[in-house]
Amino acid sequence: MRSKECVAMLLAGGKGNRLGALTSKLAKPAVYFGGKYRLIDFTLSNCTNSGIDTVGVLTQYHPLALNSYIGVGKPWDLEREEGGVTILPPYIKQDGGDWYKGTADSIYQNIDFIEQYDPKYVLVISGDHIYKMNYELMLNAHIQKNAEATVAAISVGWKDASRFGIIDTNDENKMISFFEKPKNPRSNLASMGIYIFNWGILKKLLISDAKDQRSSHDFGKDIIPKMLENGNDLYAYSFEGYWRDVGTVESLWETHMDLLKKNSAFDLNERGWKVYSRNLNQPSQYISSKAIVRNSLVNEGCTVFGEVENSVLSYGVHIEEGSNVKDSVIMPNVKIGKNVKINRAIIGEGTIIHDHNVVGNLEDITLIGHREIVT
């Protein structure tokens, strides 16, 4: 097999507790987003658009929907003779086996996968972020700086800084310190959880980290601090585009609302940077003569007889006459009856809402899970 310059390892085993009912039976990267996508589409599309053609997807929690969604990777052009997408669940070895105990441990357990491509660099990314990023530019910066590891970083508001891993750098972007969720942050440059490592160095670190009983086997908590301690050359790579970690119901809702803003910072229609996804064969959406659809994103297969305002409808959504959907996110195949009012809500896949119901309120975001029936 030809060697690859860079292999991507995509972390997709997360449980996503804070997404409540949406992830009760679904891995977080498989959660629907933007009317047509699943969260993982954004990262996989970034790989394709950045020219990375070898991606290992680390799955663990409720992988059924995620595995069948990824399949052989055809929708992202990752169905390749050499490389392409490979799903990597935990497995049993001769001397027993274990679940992935942390992000670093999941890569450690798949050293053999990476070794077969003999890469110079390994890119570590997450399957639950909404952003468009050219990893090739980050890799170029990594090579140019002669770095041993590079961490992508974004400026966040000072008040949010204590929620992130915070990086302090010198004038040349070299990392001086890194603190995971600090109480008194020294900078507002937050780690995006995107790393490039020189594989030779990372491999050694992973092997010694695996033996360390006290380690939590996490990149942010263990590997990066260890590298700083060892005096490795770590650099930050500043990213200035749109980036969101949709870890909570509120942030999932807010990120959807961002898509609907006038001159939204995140353009799904950008030519030259398409977001790929598995396309279902659904007919064009039908908007009836009594319907009103304003400031919304609507996918194919929808039939709308009611009013939709400032909302995102995924495929196969049916909205009957007299109903009003406002500031809401409706996931696939939801059926909404007559004279229903929905406000500031996220409605899970396949849920049926019968006539005359009122869902949602003005204070917080109401979440209805998958395949529920609201009578």
Partner 1 sequence: MKNVMGIINLVNETDQLEELTYNRCIASTPFGGRYRLIDFILSSLVNSGVQKVCMFTQEKYRSLMDHLGSGREWDLDRKQNGLTVLPPLFDDPDESKKGDLYYFYCHRDYFFRCNEEYVILSKSHMVCNIDFKPILQFHKEKEAQITVLYKEDKEELYSLTRQIKVNADQKVSSMQGYHTKQQSDPFSMEMLLMRKELFLDLVETSIAKGWKDFITDAVIKNLDLLSVYGYKYSGYLGIINTVQSYYKNSMDLLNASLFNQLFHQSHSIYTKTKDEAPAAYKSSASVLNSLVTNGCIIKGTVENSILFRGIEVGEGARLKNCIIMPNSVIQQNVNLENAILDKHVIVNMDQEIIGDPKMPFVAEKQKVI
Q: Are 42 and 273 in contact (CB under 8 A)?
A: no
With residue 69 as reference, give the H or E element that holds it. helix 64-70
Among 3, 170, 208, 295, binds partner 1 (CB under 8 A): 295
* Contact code string over 237-266 relative to partner 1, x by CB under 8 A: -------------------------x----
Among 126, 215, 296, 328, binds partner 1 (CB under 8 A): 296
Closer CB to partner 1, residue 7 or residue 312?
312
List phi, psi (to 5°) of 43: -70, -45
With residue 249 as reference, give the H or E element that holds it. helix 249-260
Among 7, 293, 329, 367, binds partner 1 (CB under 8 A): 293
Among 70, 297, 329, 330, binds partner 1 (CB under 8 A): 297
Diameter over CA atoms, the chain: 68
Among 207, 265, 292, 358, binds partner 1 (CB under 8 A): 292
- Examine residue 35 and tell whether it contacts partner 1 (CB under 8 A): yes
- Examine residue 80 and tell whether it contacts partner 1 (CB under 8 A): no
| Nearest residue to 40 (alpha-carbon basis) of 7, 17, 67, 20 | 67
SS3 1: coil
Radius of gyration over every alpha carbon of the chain, rounded to an integer in angstroms: 22
Segment near partner 1 (CB under 8 A); pick from 110-118, 167-175, 201-209, 278-286? 278-286
Q: How far is the CB of 266 from partner 1 (least distance, A)?
A: 11
Segment near partner 1 (CB under 8 A); pick from 194-202, 216-224, 297-305, 319-327? 297-305
Q: How far is the CB of 262 from partner 1 (least distance, A)?
A: 8
Among 283, 362, 363, 375, binds partner 1 (CB under 8 A): 283
CA distances from 182 to 27, 190, 204, 248, 263 (A): 28, 11, 28, 20, 34
- Examine residue 111 and tell whether it contacts partner 1 (CB under 8 A): no
* Contact code string over 38-77 relative to partner 1, x by CB under 8 A: -------------------------------------x--
Paired with 152 in beta bridges are 237
SS3 78: coil
**Residues whose CB falls within 8 Å of the CB of residue 280, separated by 6 or more in sequence, listed in order:** 300, 301, 315
191 is in an annotated binding site: yes
165 is in an annotated binding site: yes
180 is in an annotated binding site: yes
Residues 155-214 that bind partner 1 (CB under 8 A): none
Q: How far is the CB of 309 from partner 1 (least distance, A)?
A: 9
| Nearest residue to 23 (alpha-carbon basis) of 369, 371, 352, 315 | 369
Closer CB to partner 1, residue 72 or residue 137?
72
Closer CB to partner 1, residue 160 or residue 270?
270
Q: Are 61 and 29 in contact (CB under 8 A)?
A: no
Rounded distance between C-alpha atoms, residue 97 and residue 100, angstroms:
10
**Residues whose CB falls within 8 Å of the CB of residue 191, separated by 6 or more in sequence, listed in order:** 151, 152, 153, 164, 165, 166, 167, 178, 220, 224
Among 40, 133, 141, 312, binds partner 1 (CB under 8 A): 312
Among 94, 144, 213, 289, binds partner 1 (CB under 8 A): 289
Closer CB to partner 1, residue 36 or residue 38?
36
Question: Within 13 Å, how many C-alpha atoms sit on residue 213's CB side?
Answer: 0
Among 255, 299, 323, 328, binds partner 1 (CB under 8 A): 299
**Residues whose CB falls within 8 Å of the CB of residue 314, separated by 6 or more in sequence, listed in order:** 32, 35, 36, 299, 330, 331, 332, 333, 334, 349
List phi, psi (to 5°) of 113: -60, -45
Q: How far is the CB of 87 from partner 1 (least distance, A)?
A: 21
- Residues belonging to the binding site for alpha-D-glucose 1-phosphate are 100, 165, 180-181, 191
- Residues belonging to the binding site are 100, 165, 180-181, 191
Binding residues for partner 1, rule: CB under 8 A, are: 34-36, 75, 262, 268-269, 274-277, 279-289, 291-300, 303, 308, 312-314
